[in-house]
Amino acid sequence: MNDIWQGVQEAFSLIFTADGEVMRIVALSLAVSVSALVLSAAVGIPLGIWLAFRRFASRRLAIAFLYTGMGFPPVVVGLVVFLLLSRSGPLGWSGWLYTPKAMVLAQVIIAAPIIAGFTMVAVMAVNRNLRRQARSLGANNLQVTMTMLQEARVGMLVAVLAGFGRILSEVGAVMIVGGNLKGSTQVLTTATVQFTRMGLFERSIAMGMILLTLTFLTSLLWVLLQGGALQES
């Protein structure tokens, strides 16, 4: 127990003295995570909205694929991306392996289906009567869509938050395609694994505390964004 407490104390000092190595890891984590989130949302939200509104022949099959993507083991995504980007793989010429680009790619593949799935469900949950109402008040197609999306905004924000959570917590895939290279692809999660393996527990505790704080701050931000909509029942 003493060991743990000592680790926590040293972790605090590492964080508050802005230890160089720790700051580098945090900066890289944020850069990779935010990039991955923006790209995942750019892909996932339109896809989710499209699946919610559009009726087409193989829609159910498409949704089944989407659900599969949501539940798919992330480490397998990491393996596939690795095999594609490896020297002996089809995309080896890109030089993306063991760079942040590969990490962002893997995380977009992992998170986009999650964002798409939750967005789709949120939009589908909007009362269809709203559409009739809006039309009866003279709204055109675009205005109807925007009205429905406004109603779904709480759910859509949760979709993005879920995607961010997934991205921030990913270890295996990011380790495989990123390589945990010090100063270039070492992020909070892979650093936690490394420091734990090396027995540098105060460092891995520091990583864990930062991850927790980031998650909490993001959630706070999200609650603020959801604003009044959360009060409506």
Residues of the shown chain interacting with other proteins in the complex, contacts defined by CB under 8 A: 86-87, 97-98, 179-184, 186, 190-191, 194, 197-199
Minimum CB–partner distance for residue 204 and other proteins (Å): 12
In sign, the C-alpha dihedral spanning 77, 103, 111, 91 is negative
Amino acid at the residue 129: N
**How far is it, in rounded angstroms, from Cα 123 to Cα 47?**
11
CA atoms within 13 A on the CB side of 31: 15
Least distance in angstroms from the C-beta of 167 to other proteins: 21
Beta carbon nearer to other proteins, 194 or 226: 194
Residue (147 or 186) nearer to other proteins, CB: 186
Comparing CB distances to other proteins, the nearer of 60 and 87 is: 87
CB of 201 to other proteins, least distance (A): 9
Rounded Cα distance between 122 and 3, Å, is 46
Closer to other proteins by CB, 166 or 203: give it: 203
- Minimum distance of other proteins from residue 13's CB (angstroms): 21
Unique residue bearing structure tokens 């931000």: 221
CA 222-100-84 angle, to 5 degrees, is 115
